[in-house]
């Protein structure tokens, strides 16, 4: 089910001041690896992305939501050149950490979406993702903030729509309360 609505975003978009090199990579390199056609402005009708066109070939596509500095994503991209990987990270400093390393590695199988993962999930084709990584998401530990957690019933419905049958979801956390929360949501 496609939805076009305003999404509340919880968390920071920026942190420390970016270095000159990071600013240059955002200006010149990010447009080369940026996943376009996702935002509400670019895609107001919320049409599905053409992943074969995006990666220039038909290939399995993996998705990492909240890639942080991109260490995991770079590692799996180097080991799996035949896989298309979409990395989603709304925190600009994380994107800025990834870009110089991505430019140095010269990998062509990574696309970056630097905004909220729910916006991306909304335009991914049905049954298009073979692996989903959600590594160490913000646990929002306060009871009043539980609704902010990325693993929730609504997002689980989107995961179910975009994941291929027999696909894998990898969720990692070091917060016991969040692990229990994830298990409860999945058990429902």
Q: Which residues are catalytic?
A: 138
Residue 44 and residue 150: Cα distance in Å, rounded? 23
Q: Which two tokens stand for residue 140?
A: 């929002």
DSSP E strands in 2-114: the ranges are 61-65, 84-88, 110-113
Is residue 102 within 8 Å of 76, Cβ to Cβ?
no
CA–CA distance from 87 to each of 1, 61, 80, 162, 175 (Å)? 22, 11, 15, 15, 23
| Distance of alpha carbon 75 from alpha carbon 186, whole angstroms | 28
Cα 149 to the chain's mean position, in Å? 15
């Amino acid at each position: 089910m496609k939805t076009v609505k305003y999404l509340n975003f919880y968390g920071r978009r920026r942190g420390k001041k970016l270095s000159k090199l990071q600013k240059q990579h955002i200006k010149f390199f990010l447009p080369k690896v940026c996943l376009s056609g996702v935002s509400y402005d670019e895609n107001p009708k919320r049409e599905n992305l053409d992943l074969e066109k995006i990666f220039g070939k038909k290939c399995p596509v993996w998705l990492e939501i909240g890639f942080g500095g991109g260490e995991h994503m770079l590692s799996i991209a180097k080991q799996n050149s035949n896989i298309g990987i979409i990395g989603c990270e709304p925190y600009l400093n994380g994107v800025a950490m990834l870009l110089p390393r991505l430019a140095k590695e010269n990998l062509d199988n990574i696309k970056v979406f630097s905004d909220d993962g729910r916006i991306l999930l909304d335009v991914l084709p049905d049954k298009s993702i073979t692996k989903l990584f959600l590594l160490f998401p913000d646990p929002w530990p306060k009871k009043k903030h539980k609704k902010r957690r990325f693993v929730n019933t609504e997002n689980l419905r989107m995961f179910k729509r975009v994941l291929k049958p027999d696909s894998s979801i990898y969720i990692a956390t070091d917060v016991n309360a969040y692990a229990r929360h994830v298990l409860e949501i999945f058990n429902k």
